[in-house]
Structure 1
Amino acid sequence: MTGRNLITDVQNTWCPGCGNFTIQHTLKALLDGWEKEGRSLDNVVLVSGIGCHAKIADYLNINSFYSLHGRTIPVATGIKLANPDLTVICCCGDGDCYAEGLDHLVFAAKRNIDITVIVHDNRVYGLTTGQYTPTSPLGFKGKSTPSGTAELPLNPVELMLACGATFIARGYTKKMDQLKTLIREGVAHKGFSFIDVLQICATFFPAADYYTPRVYEPADHDPADFQKACLLAREWDYNSDARIALGVLYRKSMPGFGERVAVPNRTASEREQAVRDIIAARI
């Protein structure tokens, strides 16, 4: 279908100033561009989880799948392996992806599944009104930790480097143009693409005054340099008062999981009929 209105008429319930708006309109701009290039949006699938971020599946008029909490990545993996012709974009929250769904993230990176994972990292559980997540800073005071959390945050960028992800980037919702470039490059990458997006939660973690003076784009960084990528990842540990590198931090070309696994060479209609035959045999 072409010429579609990419923003649905579903009432938007995000808070004013929420960084999700930036991610939504960044994806809309990319989808608009792809459609103008003659690319069918019928071949694009958006998978979301549970949380404020997940409402993006209500607001963008494309094929979408609401998964269970923490299960966005295995659903996206199944969709991609079942139909490799699809472009699969996975939108997760930091509580969704780095807590209950962390094991799925690790193995998707390890296997180099050809999906793009965009983490709406606002560093707080916003939908349930302000509990700490794996990336919340030490001392974060929320509904579940009124005296401040005693845990140090997870560094997801460093973790993805350790897991073998072949495309690792970090964006910021106050830098929409750069974010658009990162997502475009992530989708174009053949293999597992991971983009941690520092997102503003205007209600429970309004951190723009913290992020804006610290973020920067490293000059002359070669994303193929793994050691430099490690240094950039460790420069800011999601807790310290340090500079925060944005952009493509690491990129490597290698065969994806789908290329290593023998899949019958069938057309989409043949695959569909095979599924129908399996279902019919069990009814």
Structure 2
Amino acid sequence: MSGKDLASRAENTWCPGCGNFPIQRALKDILAEMTGEGFPLENFILVAGIGQHAKIFDFMNVNGFYSLHGRTIPVATGIKIANPDLTVLCVTGDGDCYAEGLEHLIFAAKRNIDITVIVHNNRVYGLTTGQYTPTSPYQFPGRSTPGGVKEYPLNPMELMLSAGAGFIGRAYTLQYEGLRRVMHEGLMHRGFSFIDILQICVTYNNLTEYYNSRVYSWEEEDTVRDFDAACVKAREWDYNRDAQIGLGVLYRHDAPTFEENHPVPEPRTPDEREEIIARILEKRL
């Protein structure tokens, strides 16, 4: 199987040059590689939110679920807990995940749910044509803030360190090999994985020159399991000030997953279920 075999028949409606294309390509290549090594594709589930990012589900021939805006992570959590053998990937946008969905992101990291969350972070609402999001820079002149937004952006890397995420990475859509590597490592990590992907929006927030002049690769070998060192790296760039922007794996650590700590009980037989219900009703009467 190749990445092309995973394409659906749906017409692609992303803008030419959209940062969603490299993310989709990387996911196709990763899944093709995994299936070539014996991974059953039917065990992969893609959960999408609402936004331009979510169209990736339309354009790929995989099992999945369209969730409500901001609710990708609780849907993915339910799928994983009910069937721990599945590999569950959330694709979500910065508005989708860091606004309505922020509380779900924090608690999934805290609980170490064994899912991977990929944030298509173009720092703008693209589907609704150009409003600011929680990661838009200060003074961003969005459609809803023509005089410039008067809020400083959220730093998701620092937030995920505080929440206890087991795998934290950042990638950039115009550096494909690094993007693919971080996505693949995140999918392979046992436990909660978070990847913030700096994505180009060519129509409403084209930061190509800004990123190209600032990105560099983190040296990971010696510090990737050092929490204090990761905190320093996460604060190098706060998603607003003019600073160098590190890419790669920021931090990883291994811990028991939520599913391991709370295994799903074996299903009861019809007779056992009837007996349990009878006992519950007897206590209430």
> How high is the TM-score relative to the length of structure 1?
0.92
Which residues of 2 match residues 23-172 of structure 1 at below 5 A?
Answer: 23-172=23-172
Please, which moves more after superposition, 231-240 or 211-220?
A: 211-220
Letter in 2 for 1:202: V
**What is the SS of the residue equivalent to 1:179?**
helix
Q: How far apart are the structure 1 equivalents of 2:3 and 2:195? A: 28
Q: Cα RMSD (Å) of the superposition?
A: 1.8
Deviation (angstroms), 1:213: 1.3
Moved more, 257-266 or 54-63: 257-266
Q: Distance in 2 between matches of 1:184 and 1:3?
A: 14
Given that 2:8 and 2:58 are in contact with CA atoms closer than 8 Å, whether structure 1 keeps it comes out as yes
Deviation at residue 4 of structure 1 after TM alignment:
8.4
Looking at structure 1, the residues matched to 252 and 261 of structure 2 have their Cα atoms a distance apart, in angstroms, of: 20
Q: 1:143 to 1:221 in 2, by over 3 A?
A: farther
Which of the two has higher C-alpha Rg?
2
Aligned partners of 2:28 and 2:156: how far apart in 1? 26
Preserved CA contact (<8 Å) 1:2 1:35: no
- State the 1:222 CA deviation: 2.1
SS across alignment from 1:247 = strand
Question: Are the equivalent residues in 2 in contact too, given 1:2–1:40 (CA < 8 A)?
Answer: no
Shift of 1:3: 10
Equivalent position of 1:173 in the other structure: 173
Give the Cα separation in 2 of the matches to 1:188 and 1:265.
Answer: 27
Q: Does 1:10 align with 2:44?
A: no
Letter in 2 for 1:144: S
Contact 2:142 2:148 in 1 (8 A): yes
Q: Spell out, residue by residue over 1:61-101, the C-alpha distance to the aligned partner (whole angstroms, 9 max, x if none).
A: 10010000000000000000010000000000000000000
TM-score normalised to the size of structure 2? Answer: 0.91
Per the alignment, in what secondary structure is the counterpart of residue 118 of structure 2?
strand
Secondary structure of the residue aligned to 1:170 is: strand
- Paired residue total: 269
**Bigger shift: residues 78-87 or 213-222:** 213-222
- Is residue 2:267 matched to residue 1:232? no
Q: Report how far residue 2 of structure 1 moved.
A: 10
- Counting only pairs closer than 5 Å after superposition, residues 194-213 of structure 1 correspond to structure 2 as 194-213=194-213
In structure 1, the residue matched to 2:279 is none
Q: What secondary structure does 1:235 align onto?
A: coil
In structure 1, C-alpha distance between the alignment counterparts of 2:245 and 2:64, rounded to whole Å? 32
Question: How far 1:35 sits from its partner (Å)?
Answer: 1.4
Deviates more, 1:180-189 or 1:99-108: 180-189
1:227-249 alpha-carbon deviations (Å, 9 max, x no partner): 11001100000000000111000
In 1, the alpha carbon distance for the partners of 2:76 and 2:7 equals 22
Question: Contact (CA 8 Å) 1:125, 1:131: kept in 2 or not?
Answer: yes
- Deviation at residue 34 of structure 1 after TM alignment: 1.1
Taking the aligned partners of 1:95 and 1:213, their CA distance within structure 2 comes to 25
Deviation string for 1:89-126 (max 9, x for gaps)?
Answer: 00000000000000000000000000000000000000
SS of residue in 1 equivalent to 2:144: coil
Specify every segment of 5 or more residues in structure 2 that has no aligned partner in the other structure, as ranges: 274-285
Q: Which runs of 4+ in 1 moved over 3 A?
A: 1-4
Q: What's the offset of the Cα at 1:218?
A: 2.2
1:265 positional shift: 4.2
1:279 alignment partner in structure 2? none
CA 3–240 in structure 1, closer or farther in 2 if over 3 Å, else same: closer
